[in-house]
Structure 1
């Protein structure tokens, strides 16, 4: 029996296609919208069972001479050498003197050796100069060739040096602005003759102002200024003062040093001079090019002639620009330190605060500097914000106290607090710097401050006591002039003795000084500079300033010095303090000026031993007891010393003999 066909297993009938009909495509193919689900490529490496194809890394093949790639892959060394060859080829195409520079570099390595003979070095120098002849201006800007030229100029003969100078003479202004060639120009100036230097300075006429605005060119002008004589320095400065002096070279040939004298002699208009100087100075300050002494000289002259009537608040604007870290870079020169002191004197409380905070990380370096230390002395004498000074300045000084006490410049900070403005420790030029002021900002010519300025002045003062005093001054300020306000030229409103008390005693500086003197008494007494500090500390400062509060400490210092004097000569490795040149004279001054110390020294060290120390440098110490104006000191030593006088071992000082 035939099996019945199941409907599911039977063959399906095909649909008949109508000739004009079209099969309707799925919606997601015909729609303009993108499908909702898009297949993503696997992010990580394919699994072991994955069918994703693995692509091996591309191999680099070397090219044959015909340009076709060889099938053999290049090794790492071959690829490195090939890249080096390509780089060399690019440099040769870009640099026309590339081969010459390589030859000069090999010669330079030979000529700059220290253990080379002079004849061999001269031979290498001559060969290098011969290779560079005629091409020096073009290759002087290269970092390699400029170094070779500097070495050649240093070791070559004078004739060869003159030939190089002659070839570069017309290109100096261009080379002065080159980063590498500037060192060559400085080396040429160092080895130039007087005639060559004069010619170079003459070629700078009309370009000094533009070069000073250039970070690299300003270095060349400063170097020429340092090497120039007084007349040549004046030539460089003159064209910075006025347009007429910049255009007409004949006007510069006179010896007046001060700008005020130049204005009066030539009849220049003061307003025109100030406008020209402002146009020169402002771009220099905006770029921060303030390290050079020639710029400091120009700023000093500008402060001297600045006039509010012609250029409103011109000096004040300069002070505002300089206040801060910029001023720290100017303190290493004499004029720069004077500018800093003028900014401190005439600046507001806010500007003084900026100046002091700008010194924060440089206090130690400033204290060791000849002129920078004077700026710190000025701060101690003028600024009323003692809390800020203690926090920024004195805290840093206490870390290097002994180092500063023995330093020629650093000791002056402490001597100013111990004995203010003493002519023994400050030269007449230093004392003149302390008294300088800006004429247009002096207290006599200043108008009364506005109420807004007064209120801002109170807010800017961080010291509570100074703030209170300022507020009292402002309250009574309707009848007072600006000379009585906090930031007057003469200093602050705070009493000088009170300021000295807060800086020296309240800060703990005096106690630290006494401890340092006790620990290093012998070293300080024998030191040419430390002896002055230990003398001022042992006497208690001018007027016995330290005596009321630190009497016990000072007595301990007297005991320490007396114990050194009591030691026998054989017990000390160094020269005895009574026989040393510096220490014997310091102890003598202490005996004359400090009766308390004299009594301690006699009782602990000299009583019964005066005959032993009656010769040499120590004799001056013994005789000081006879010269003392204190009756108690005289009575102590009179009986013992009288026998030495009778025996002719010591002589009565002339002053005592005359008085008797």
Structure 2
């Protein structure tokens, strides 16, 4: 498989074979060598490829419907094991000792992954120089500006800055996750006219269609994710605090509204104090809550 990882990863259905292996194979040393190594060599391309990115995202956020369509989940999960298989066969004679030549009844290990899925992900990602986790983070750092503005790449940047589902990436590469977050804050803190499209540069991340939606999605994850709450505090202190008036009324409203539901109480309070007068001046029924709802935070607003 090692020599075919790139072709599989970039194929509409071939990438599912890699996802299946990462979901079921318990030998993580083998996975790192046969899949992790080749992925590292194509990392820059994989992050923005429609299908290859799913392999990486599966390690960061497994079985997420946003990244891996629900209809594929059953294709890549371990097959369920029947009760008879679990106990070694109907008559109890087809277990490990009763099927020594491999020609008898079904093995009790068919379709079974015994390793904890989160542990498997951590072991495949690895830690330290040369690890897959370091490669993912380094590639995101090197191309953060392009990734956050790319429809496919933005998902990878969000998951790295999030630290992965259940903080899996943050556990094995905490400093890398911090660096990725700092890169985003640095981009958001840039002057509004920095990278003006008319000047031939990149559109500001708070105004870019893909980027501001990625930031909004990342901030909302802070409701349940401590790593993201720390990012929200960084983003507020380093890029948004005292500048809400500058951005208010633009596409950046999606990000400002998301800050109101980032999970960090202090940040939410500070943002409310800064945004409330701006919304009031704008007028309209409902005030700040209705304004937040109008920018895609209906669920968050209802909870408050």
Tell me the TM-score normalised to structure 2 length: 0.80
Counterpart of 1:119 in structure 2 is: none
Equivalent residue for 2:205, pick from 560, 577, 589: 577
Equivalent residue for 2:63, pick from 414, 418, 421: 421
Q: State the alpha-carbon separation in 2 of the partners of residues 521 and 407 from structure 1.
A: 15
Counterpart of 2:168 in structure 1 is: 545
Deviation for aligned residue 1:539: 0.8
After superposition, the Cα gap between the structure-2 partners of 1:430 and 1:658, relative to the gap in structure 1 and judged at 3 Å, is closer
Partner SS, residue 247 of structure 2: coil
Equivalent residue for 1:607, pick from 216, 241, 249: 241
Deviation for aligned residue 1:444: 6.0
Contact 2:47 2:153 in 1 (8 A): yes
* 2:65 is equivalent to residue 405 of structure 1: no
* 2:190 is equivalent to residue 567 of structure 1: yes
Counterpart of 2:97 in structure 1 is: 451
Q: For structure 1, which runs of at least 5 residues remain unmatched after alignment?
A: 1-358, 457-480
Q: State the alpha-carbon separation in 1 of the partners of residues 124 and 190 from structure 2.
A: 36
Deviation for aligned residue 1:439: 9.7
Q: State the alpha-carbon separation in 1 of the partners of residues 12 and 137 from structure 2.
A: 25
Partner SS, residue 642 of structure 1: helix
Equivalent residue for 1:634, pick from 268, 284, 304: 268
Q: State the alpha-carbon separation in 2 of the partners of residues 571 and 439 from structure 1.
A: 58
Partner SS, residue 533 of structure 1: helix
Counterpart of 1:648 in structure 2 is: 282
1:273-314 per-residue CA deviation (whole Å, 9 max, x = no partner) reads xxxxxxxxxxxxxxxxxxxxxxxxxxxxxxxxxxxxxxxxxx
Contact 2:144 2:184 in 1 (8 A): yes
Deviation for aligned residue 1:601: 1.0
Deviation for aligned residue 1:638: 2.7
Contact 2:145 2:187 in 1 (8 A): yes
Q: State the alpha-carbon separation in 2 of the partners of residues 657 and 547 from structure 1.
A: 29
Counterpart of 1:524 in structure 2 is: 147
Deviation for aligned residue 1:401: 0.4
Counterpart of 2:122 in structure 1 is: 501
Q: State the alpha-carbon separation in 2 of the partners of residues 367 and 546 from structure 1.
A: 21
Q: State the alpha-carbon separation in 2 of the partners of residues 523 and 454 from structure 1.
A: 55
Counterpart of 2:224 in structure 1 is: none
Contact 1:373 1:413 in 2 (8 A): yes
Q: State the alpha-carbon separation in 1 of the partners of residues 78 and 169 from structure 2.
A: 30
1:579-608 per-residue CA deviation (whole Å, 9 max, x = no partner) reads 111110111122222211111111111122
Aligned residues: 273
After superposition, the Cα gap between the structure-2 partners of 1:385 and 1:643, relative to the gap in structure 1 and judged at 3 Å, is same
1:44-85 per-residue CA deviation (whole Å, 9 max, x = no partner) reads xxxxxxxxxxxxxxxxxxxxxxxxxxxxxxxxxxxxxxxxxx
Counterpart of 2:21 in structure 1 is: 379
Q: State the alpha-carbon separation in 2 of the partners of residues 658 and 366 from structure 1.
A: 44
Deviation for aligned residue 1:574: 1.1
1:219-255 per-residue CA deviation (whole Å, 9 max, x = no partner) reads xxxxxxxxxxxxxxxxxxxxxxxxxxxxxxxxxxxxx
Deviation for aligned residue 1:651: 3.8
How do residues 464-479 of structure 1 correspond to structure 2 at under 5 angstroms?
A: none
Partner SS, residue 570 of structure 1: coil
Equivalent residue for 2:215, pick from 587, 596, 601: 587
Contact 1:531 1:586 in 2 (8 A): yes
Q: State the alpha-carbon separation in 1 of the partners of residues 175 and 77 from structure 2.
A: 37
Q: State the alpha-carbon separation in 2 of the partners of residues 361 and 560 from structure 1.
A: 34
Equivalent residue for 1:533, pick from 131, 134, 156: 156
Partner SS, residue 398 of structure 1: helix
* 2:250 is equivalent to residue 623 of structure 1: no
1:117-169 per-residue CA deviation (whole Å, 9 max, x = no partner) reads xxxxxxxxxxxxxxxxxxxxxxxxxxxxxxxxxxxxxxxxxxxxxxxxxxxxx
Deviation for aligned residue 1:628: 2.9
Partner SS, residue 375 of structure 1: helix
Q: State the alpha-carbon separation in 1 of the partners of residues 251 and 98 from structure 2.
A: 65
Counterpart of 2:198 in structure 1 is: none
Contact 1:595 1:633 in 2 (8 A): no
* Displacement over 6 Å in runs of 4+: none
Partner SS, residue 451 of structure 1: coil
1:82-127 per-residue CA deviation (whole Å, 9 max, x = no partner) reads xxxxxxxxxxxxxxxxxxxxxxxxxxxxxxxxxxxxxxxxxxxxxx
Deviation for aligned residue 1:644: 1.3
Q: State the alpha-carbon separation in 2 of the partners of residues 418 and 381 from structure 1.
A: 12
Deviation for aligned residue 1:429: 2.2
1:451-477 per-residue CA deviation (whole Å, 9 max, x = no partner) reads 386699xxxxxxxxxxxxxxxxxxxxx
Contact 2:78 2:113 in 1 (8 A): no
Deviation for aligned residue 1:659: 5.9
Q: State the alpha-carbon separation in 1 of the partners of residues 146 and 26 from structure 2.
A: 35
Q: State the alpha-carbon separation in 1 of the partners of residues 98 and 25 from structure 2.
A: 22
Contact 2:87 2:95 in 1 (8 A): no
Partner SS, residue 193 of structure 2: helix
After superposition, the Cα gap between the structure-2 partners of 1:658 and 1:607, relative to the gap in structure 1 and judged at 3 Å, is same
Q: State the alpha-carbon separation in 2 of the partners of residues 574 and 588 from structure 1.
A: 19
Q: For structure 2, which runs of at least 5 residues remain unmatched after alignment?
A: 196-200, 222-227
* Rg larger in structure: 1
